[in-house]
Chains A and B, each alone.
Chain A
Amino acid sequence: MTSTTTTPPPAALPAVAPKPRKAKPSGINRRSPAGRAVTYVLLLFFLIVVLMPAYVLVVTSFKNGRDIGVNGQWGLPTVWTTISWAKAWTALGPSFFRTFELAIPVALISSFLGAANGFVLARWRFPGADVVFTLILFGMFIPYQSVMIPLREVVHSIHLLPGIPTLIFVHCVYGIPICTLIFRNYYATTVPVEIIEASRVDGAGLLRTFASVILPISIPGFVVTIIWQFTSAWNDYLFAIFLSNTNNGPITIALNALAGAQSPDYAASMAGALIASLPTLVVYVVLGRWFIGGLMAGSVKS
């Protein structure tokens, strides 16, 4: 696969070979040994700061809920135990699987919609396409509160099953703008007009061109939107709290119920937070460079 994501990602993870750069101009751009040392000290300091919450999560999750006193709260567990993990899993297990049932269809459906729209808006442009595109994009920036009150009535009146089916529908609809944006930029930068012209000359209509010429070269775009939509649906809390509950909703609802009690069991909450973050973290580690491609696309133009 080539490095043809939406917008050129800044060579994201170590797996990506850095672009060969010209030799640095001498003088100002070279750092002195002291400057280099300061740079590394700062980088390491921030590394520790960024990782600190992760350290707390992991360490606390292996403590016994009753053993978290004020003393030694930053230390390693005196006795390592998975009792809190078991407790968290009991609370989150059902919603963990439900969230897969939510996030996977959302990722696939909204990607297909986005690919179709992006193709038309990038390479089959009708008069007024720019205005339509801008109107589509606006949908991704709105605060969803501004549609939420009637939305509850609408999904009820069109007889969507409460819980996951409703959330799938809603995430697909409100995921259209970002997926359209990602695919439009992708097609505009990587699919030459000539391919489409040639296909037209051969007498292929739009649908044939899209299905037989465009879709096969769309995999990088799909990877970006699938990751993006999977992560958004997995991490969503706003739609979930308005449209579902602990019995039929995704993992964020269950986690907040576990962690939000007046005197929460921190060990179990943190084990729960780790369980809830695991799928998206795995995606980030394995497919990091495309994850960043999605992030960059969020800024409309980079």
Chain B
Amino acid sequence: MTASPTPSPTTAPLEPARAPAQKFRRVSAHGRVRHWGPGLLLLSPSLVLLAVFVYGLIAWTVRLSLSGQHSAIDKQTFEGTKTFTNLFTHDISDRFTHSLGNLGLFTLVFLLGTLFMGVLWALLLERKIPGEGIFRAIYLFPMAVSFVASGVVWRWLMNAGTGDRAGGLNAIFHGLGLTFLENPWVLDPHWGMAAMAMPAIWQLSGYVMALFLAGFRGIPAELREAAAMDGAGTFRLYRNVIFPQLTPTALSVLIILGHMSMKMFDLIMSVTGPGWITEVPAVYVWQTLLTSDFAKAAAISVILLLLVAVVIVPYLIYNNRVERRS
């Protein structure tokens, strides 16, 4: 990176040296403004917008979550963390903890499923084979479609009817005689969220494939050759040489997908709409706003933000460090 040409203004230790040092400091401050000023000026509209609309509004939401504004006519009195504790202890039928549980199940199935499919596809395509481009393009195409649009077809595929009334995927299972596979999908009270992860897996496995494919291709051929020379078989080559190299890729993938999962909203609204079985905090916020309980909606949003921040902030700091070192 370009080193700063302005010398750092160290404080002068001796009395006699003070006057010239101060003069020098003033010049250098002026020089710094002239040097960095235009850049900061160019950056400033974005910085102001983000300061207000990201950090300012988050602060506003936090304040709202600590207030007693539980209806459109309530005053903004300070209530402390009562709304938060109520969510965990006094929510009707434990609705909030239920939505957290749903989010947990969804995230687990979504991460495992997407990672499995993505890595498998990348492995299958890793060694250049004829037709690779077509497979890759098709595996990736669901990324271009919105969750709202794909939700339309997944709602049809995951038709809860079974037996003679089977529809969608159940009709295929029924036709093939695999009746034990027929299930109510997103209407299953226990495993509904696992089914909800299927469209998300369909949509994002190609993304994971693309990232891992780039990872595989980034490994120097010499490394593979050296391993082969040492007599490593295919399994050991991947286990001991290739996969360890891809740890940063895997970490990025997990964090990107994990934070997407926390925010999942469109897909659920599209496939089932708001409902008990598939409710997650992001949808709960929306439902709570409809009842004008602003403090509660804000409190759920803050918890959602914390969930994401726990994953993202260490990642951003880590990235920052890695970059500075290189």
A residues engaging B (CB < 8 A)? 7-10, 12-14, 16, 18, 21-22, 24-25, 27-29, 31, 36, 39-40, 42-43, 46-47, 50-54, 56-57, 60, 70, 73-74, 113, 116-117, 119-121, 123-127, 130-139, 141-151, 154, 173-174, 176-177, 180, 193, 196-197, 205-207, 210, 231, 234-238, 241-242, 252, 255-256, 259-260, 264, 266, 269-270, 272-274, 276-277, 280-281, 283-284, 288, 291-292, 295-296, 298-302
Complex interface: chain B residues within 8 A of A241 (CB): 269, 286
Mark contacts of B215-253 with chain A using CB atoms, 8 A cut-off: 1 yes-contact digit, 0 otherwise. Answer: 001000100110010001110010000000000110011
A13 in contact with B266 (CB, 8 Å): no
Interface of B is mostly: helix
Complex interface: chain B residues within 8 A of A18 (CB): 128
A284 to B140 CA separation, bound complex (whole angstroms): 10
**Which of the residues A28, A39, A121, A266 comes within 8 Å of B233, measured between beta carbons?**
A28
Complex interface: chain A residues within 8 A of B135 (CB): 43, 47
Mark contacts of B26-58 with chain A using CB atoms, 8 A cut-off: 1 yes-contact digit, 0 otherwise. Answer: 000000000010111011011101100111011
Closest 6 CB pairs of A and B: A14-B133, A235-B146, A284-B144, A147-B57, A206-B38, A150-B60
Complex interface: chain B residues within 8 A of A281 (CB): 141, 144-145
Complex interface: chain B residues within 8 A of A177 (CB): 50
B148 in contact with A51 (CB, 8 Å): no
Any chain A CB within 8 A of the CB of B207? yes
A202 to B60 CA separation, bound complex (whole angstroms): 47
A39 to B128 CA separation, bound complex (whole angstroms): 12
Q: Tell whether A141 pairs with B128 under 8 Å between CB atoms, given A276-B149, A277-B146.
A: no
A150 to B49 CA separation, bound complex (whole angstroms): 15
**Which of the residues A56, A74, A196, A277 comes within 8 Å of B149, measured between beta carbons?**
A277
Any chain A CB within 8 A of the CB of B108? no
Complex interface: chain B residues within 8 A of A264 (CB): 155
A74 to B176 CA separation, bound complex (whole angstroms): 13
Any chain A CB within 8 A of the CB of B301? yes
A260 in contact with B270 (CB, 8 Å): yes
Complex interface: chain A residues within 8 A of B45 (CB): 113
B58 in contact with A301 (CB, 8 Å): no
- Of the stretches B17-25, B184-192, B310-318, the one at the interface is B310-318
**Which of the residues B50, B120, B265, B316 comes within 8 Å of A300, measured between beta carbons?**
B316
**Which of the residues B36, B42, B214, B273 comes within 8 Å of A302, measured between beta carbons?**
B214
A300 in contact with B315 (CB, 8 Å): yes
A270 in contact with B320 (CB, 8 Å): no
CB distance from A5 to the nearest CB of B (A): 12
Residue among A12, A237, A281 with the highest chain B CB neighbour number at 10 A: A237
Any chain A CB within 8 A of the CB of B64? yes
B42 in contact with A138 (CB, 8 Å): no
A193 in contact with B228 (CB, 8 Å): no
**Which of the residues B38, B148, B224 comes within 8 Å of A235, measured between beta carbons?**
B148
A227 to B53 CA separation, bound complex (whole angstroms): 24
B148 in contact with A255 (CB, 8 Å): yes
**Which of the residues B152, B225, B285 comes within 8 Å of A259, measured between beta carbons?**
B152
Any chain A CB within 8 A of the CB of B181? no
A9 in contact with B214 (CB, 8 Å): yes
A298 to B260 CA separation, bound complex (whole angstroms): 11
**Which of the residues B36, B55, B172, B319 comes within 8 Å of A74, measured between beta carbons?**
B172
